[in-house]
Amino acid sequence: DQQVKQNSPSLSVQEGRISILNCDYTNSMFDYFLWYKKYPAEGPTFLISISSIKDKNEDGRFTVFLNKSAKHLSLHIVPSQPGDSAVYFCAASAIAGKLIFGQGTTLQVKP
Amino acid sequence: NAGVTQTPKFQVLKTGQSMTLQCAQDMNHEYMSWYRQDPGMGLRLIHYSVGAGITDQGEVPNGYNVSRSTTEDFPLRLLSAAPSQTSVYFCASSYSGLAEPYNEQFFGPGTRLTVL
């Protein structure tokens, strides 16, 4: 049973516009959420995170929103740049040291 | 710092062979994990460790063994390779402290394994 789901396998946006990547989870024990970015032939790299006691966290062009009642989080990238083209994974944690990842969403930003 | 290193980068095995994927980190992280990445399945947790001598199963542990005798190393053993274990394997480590971001895992470059 997939506890973290990213239902959109791919997303294409125009450079300069907003990219919104979505993630749903089923386990109400998750208390910390992270987004990772992955380029081909490389390991994932950390992008931004949010604690379950918050509903928003910003870091430059990246903002993560958390809706606990809906068990939903989203990553907003504004403005999107061609270098943002990558696979984005959301991940959730309930136990120290244990992260559960979603399936990933491939973002393509067109110049 | 080298960060998280994985060897080998590529490996081809025959069904039934065994092998060990090596993972090492030099950041003095307590937590280490192994994931496999398959198309459409994302990153699935195989095993993880919260310190030397302590390991636990993840989402897909069958067919894999781990041990953690030192803080730095976390090898993954395939006991009898099967074609279903063809995948890209990632090792990761993270800090166990109380400052955010919690569980920020640093990943190695991956090992691409093919089982024929």
Question: Nearest-CA distance from A6 to chain B in Å?
Answer: 9
Judge: A32–B43 Cβ closer than 8 Å, yes or no. no
Are B107 and A49 inside 8 Å of each other by CB? no
Q: Which pLDDT score is estimated for B5?
A: 97
- Beta carbons of B24 and B4 less than 8 angstroms apart: yes
Task: Specify the 3-state DSSP secondary structure of B84.
Answer: helix
Q: Which residue of A has its CA nearest to B29?
A: A97
- At residue B102, does pLDDT exceed 80? no
Residue B90, judged by CB atoms within 10 A of its CB (0-12, 13-18, 19+), counts as: buried
Instruction: Give the pLDDT confidence of B2-48 residue by residue, as tens digits.
Output: 899 999 999 999 999 999 999 999 999 999 999 999 988 889 999 99
Euclidean distance between CA atoms B93 and A37, whole angstroms: 16
Q: Is the pLDDT assigned to residue A38 strictly greater than 80?
A: yes
- Average pLDDT of span A33-51: 94
- CA-nearest residue to B106 within chain A is A45
**Which chain B residues have any C-beta within 8 angstroms of a chain A C-beta?**
4, 30-31, 33, 35, 40-45, 48-50, 56, 58-59, 90, 92, 94, 96, 100-110
Tracing tokens 């994990």 back to the chain, one arrives at: B33
Is A53 within 8 Å of chain B by CB? Answer: no
pLDDT-based confidence at residue B103 (cuts at 50, 70, 90): confident
pLDDT higher than threshold 90 for residue B100: no
**pLDDT at residue B99 tops 80:** no
Contact assignment for A46 to B101 by CB distance below 8 Å = yes
How much is the mean pLDDT over chain B? 93
